[in-house]
Structure formats: structure tokens, C-alpha cells
Structure 1
Amino acid sequence: MIRQAEERDVADILRIYEAARAFMRRSGNLTQWTGGYPSEEIVHTDIARGVSYVLENEAGHLHAVFALIPGDDPTYAHIEGAWQDTSPYATIHRAGSDSTVRGTFRTILDFACSRHDHLRADTHADNKPMQNCLEKSGFTYCGIIYIADGTPRRAYEWSAAHSTADDPVK
């Protein structure tokens, strides 16, 4: 089940992000989400903005979190490459899992696609598992964007208008 995150979820969200950081390190991604990112302040801000969502199992255990943010993302204004679609979009950010449930990213995408016909996401060059998830889910690699601190990220896009019958995301 996916629901909007609430303040009572903050401790679980931080636990999930810590598990996600540990998974990244084990997967060879040593530089993404360092320095305590995403911070507790970011978690509170996402909840207050109504863009933070959690996944919980039948027993009420929170096992994943993500932000789904509609509207233009300033870091996507310039891309070394090209976006396929200039229509309004939502961005998937800060997706993390504690690895207790399989298929989490598929669930996140199904949820996001049920609300938006155009999605964007980005990830670190060392985050091969996320790159594979995006590509297997019908996202197209579009180029390099730079986040606020100036570091590069691989940018991806999915749009209902440009998807094919073979794309898994519908």
C-alpha cells in the first residue's frame, strides 16, 4: 500500500534512507547520498509539501519512501542531451527501500504513472541498480543534468505520449 507520509513516519523514513545508503555502498555507489542526505529536514519539508509517500506492507511495516514532485524541477532546466517531451511532468526523487520487499520500484512507478503522464528522474552515475530499474521500466536516458551542488546526474524520462506497446510502464 502507498500513502502520503505523515510526521509520525519520520523515524521509519530515516531508517529506510539509512538502509538505502548501506545498499548503495555495498553496490559500489560510494558517493551518492553522503553527509546524511536525505536529511531529517528534507523529510519534514517533503511531508509538509505533501510530496512524500511511503510504502507499507499488510502488517503496517514501512519499507520504502519516495518523493513525487509535480512541476518544473530547476535542476532539469539545463541538460547536456535532450528531453523527449516538454509537457508538464512530475519528478521521482529520493526513492529508497529497506530491501525487505521486492518489486518496490515497480510499485512506485505504477503509482506515479497513475497520476502523471510524464515523469522524470535522475541518478548518480555509480547507481547501476537504479539505472537498471529505470531502463527496464521504459524510461529513456536523456543526458546529464547538474544538481544544486554542481555534481552531475544521469537524467531519465518516461512519457505516455512517447511510450511504446513494449514499454512496461503504462
Structure 2
Amino acid sequence: MEFRKSTKNDVPKIMNIVKQAQNYFKEQGIDQWQNNYPNEEVINGDIENGDSYVMLKDDKVVATTVISFDKEETYDKIYDGKWLSNGDYAVIHRIAVDNTYKGLGLSHKIIKYTEDKCRENNVHSIKVDTHEENIPMQKLLTKNGFEYCGIIYLEDGGKRVAFEKNF
């Protein structure tokens, strides 16, 4: 497995994986990643910001994620709980794995890679939010040592459950 920053050439492959995830959420009745989000504009913005990554297996893009060290404004207010820490943190957004490669632990590898990137930047906290009905993501986070911290609201008012891991 290899990780690298995404390039504009990766956008069609990333969008294919995103569309698979959107279809999965729709089939499961989860109102996450619907209404044309994330779209190519969002993905291109992630790439321009230097926050978009892809995972390669045999030179094929098999997963994608965003790892950001910028503060997340929507994390400034947390309800029905509190963050584990108040210092610097990384944020993981938009983890998605190609359907053909699901069940191989690639999402776990993305989290471990994020931890490595954090250590390189002397950051010891990762914060993540997900839809309250996205149980597979919540299980992934818990299995990887994240703790439930409370509720945050996105800029559009969407409710999300928030997790943090300190290491």
C-alpha cells in the first residue's frame, strides 16, 4: 500500500469511489453525502489545499481521504459533551474505499497513516465527525481508539456525532 497526495489526474478515480459511497449511504437510508456532496468542486478544493490523499494498491487508487491540520470552525462548539483536548489537532474527512477493496482493513490503514502524519507535525490529536446513522464509521473509529465526545453542527445545520483520539 502506498499513500500520496492526490493530484488533479486522480479526480475521476476519487469521484468514482465517492459515487460508490453515496450509493451505499442511499441504499442504507443514511442521509450523508447526498445532494451532490462531495462533488468535483469540493475534491478539487481539497487537492488545491494540499489536504487530499489517495491510497494505492498495485498503482490503482483504492481509497481516498482528507487530512487537514487547519482548525475546523464547526468544532468550536460541541454539545452534550466535550472534546478530550483543546490543543492542535488533525481532522479526517471523506474517508472512502473502493467497493472492490472493502473488508481489507484499508480504513484502518488510513487512520494509522493519519496518526503518522500527525506525529510528523508534532500533533497528538485527531478529531472526526460523522452522521449519527453511519454506524460502520462509528465502529471503525471506536475500534481505532477514538472516543465519542458529543454533537457538532455543520455550517448547513446538519447534526454530526464527534469523536477524538489522543496519542
Give TM-score, length-normalised by structure 2.
0.91
Q: Which letter maps to 1:131?
A: Q
User: Matches of residues 1-170 of structure 1 in structure 2 within 5 Å?
Assistant: 1-29=2-30, 31-58=31-58, 60-80=59-79, 81-101=81-101, 102-116=104-118, 117-160=124-167
Secondary structure of 2:100's match?
coil
Secondary structure of 1:23's match?
helix
Secondary structure of 2:151's match?
strand
Distance 2:28 2:55 in 1: 23
Distance 2:28 2:143 in 1: 18
Give TM-score, length-normalised by structure 1.
0.90
Distance 2:66 2:129 in 1: 13
Which residue matches 1:164?
A: none
Identity %: 35
CA contact 2:26–2:34 (8 Å) conserved in 1:
no
Give 1:99 deviation, angstroms: 2.3
Q: How many residues align?
A: 158
**1:10-61, CA deviations, whole angstroms, 9 ceiling, x for partnerless residues?**
10010010011122233342x1111111011011110011000001111x22
Q: Gaps spanning 5+ residues in structure 1: where?
A: 161-170
